[in-house]
Amino acid sequence: MILPTARWREARQSWKMVDELGFAHAWTLDHIAWRELAGRRWYSAMPTLAAAAQCTRRIRLGTLVASPNFRHPVPFAKEALTLSDLSGDRFVLGIGAGASGADAKVLGGVPWSPAERRDRFTEFVEVVDQLLRQPCSDYAGRFYSARDAWIDPDGGARDRIPVVVAGSGPTGMRLAARHGDGWVTNGVAARRGRVPPAVTPELAREQIDAVRRTCVEEGRDPATLKVFLMNVNRAQAAFSSAAAFADTAGRYAEIGVTDLIVPFPRSEPPYEGDLRVLEQVAADVLPMVAGD
């Protein structure tokens, strides 16, 4: 479930609701500003998740997805580990390459070429993985460096935070196979921040087959990589009806999706929906399809 980073006194009940209804995970988008909601009420992902950790009991919480656009891996890894502690080890770190648009220019630098964005993404995932696996790290890369980076105050006593890597192309799939506990796709990615992404079972099957081949090439059992799918299609709301949700979940489960992610129904566009359908899905559909 993707929840908003809205004003907390308005959003808090939504986070509690998805926890109490039994959904497996709740995510928020990690952006400074996002598409048509730029200039509207939109707050920071990590503090929002820290607040959500305090008002929920069991649901996993995550970023969908953090990117190098305005993040540096060292302070971000420290925030991630702290959030994992605050939530009782319920935090999942979603990482992606980021896209052009508001987040890509907000720091005032020269826009990255596609090649530089790819290379930064690769290095970002590599160094974050290292920072989360070792109590103290040094790293010297082309884009990012770390020196005496004490990230884990427990000295590596805990398991590494689960990492889900986004990417429908070869780079994201390879990084997921090498470093991820899971891989996530939204189908056809947005272009220049203007075109909403879309996914179909046919496209998802092609991408899942490709990421499985990549796992084999990297010497990894594909069965060890969880497959997350963001169904954020705008043409048909995920919660148009409980029957539609059940049909969608079933279709994607058949082709290998382990975790389906959909937007929380909003009272206005985008992703407007009826909370009564959400409750019906929880009561009638989740018992049949829920995973861990």
- The verdict on pTM exceeding 0.85 is yes
> Which neighbouring-strand residues pair with 163?
93
198-206: which pairs have CB atoms within 8 A and are 24 or more residues apart?
A: 198/233, 198/234, 198/235, 199/229, 199/230, 199/231, 199/232, 199/233, 201/251, 201/252, 201/255, 204/229, 204/252, 204/255, 204/257, 205/255, 205/256
Q: Which helix (H) or strand (E) holds 79?
A: helix 73-86
Q: Which helix (H) or strand (E) holds 211?
A: helix 201-217
pLDDT at 119 over 90: yes
Give how far Cα 18 sits from Cα of 33, 56, 172, Å. Answer: 24, 9, 29
pLDDT confidence band for 49 (50 / 70 / 90): very high
Q: What is the mean pLDDT of residues 104-128?
A: 95
For residue 233, the model assigns a pLDDT of 83
Query: What's the mean pLDDT when you consider all of the chain?
Result: 91
pLDDT at 27 over 50: yes
pLDDT at 193 over 80: no
For residue 290, the model assigns a pLDDT of 59
Q: In angstroms, rounded to a whole number, what is the distance separating the alpha carbons of residues 102 and 140?
A: 28
For residue 192, the model assigns a pLDDT of 47
Chain CA centroid to CA 1, Å: 10
Contact 237, 277 (CB under 8 A): no
Contact 141, 163 (CB under 8 A): no
Q: What is the mean pLDDT of residues 106-124?
A: 95
Q: In angstroms, rounded to a whole number, what is the distance separating the alpha carbons of residues 58 and 216?
A: 34
Compute φ and ψ for 113, nearest 5 degrees. Answer: -75, 160
Question: Positive or negative, the Cα torsion across 32, 60, 138, 180?
Answer: negative
> Which neighbouring-strand residues pair with 251?
none
Residue 174 token pair: 């390879």
Amino acid identity of residue 25, one-letter, is H
Residue 177 token pair: 């196979």
Q: What is the mean pLDDT of residues 164-178?
A: 97
Q: In angstroms, rounded to a whole number, what is the distance separating the alpha carbons of residues 3 and 11?
A: 8
Contacts of 48 by beta carbon, 8 Å cutoff, 6+ apart: 5, 8, 11, 28
> pLDDT > 70: what percent of the chain?
94
pLDDT at 157 over 80: no
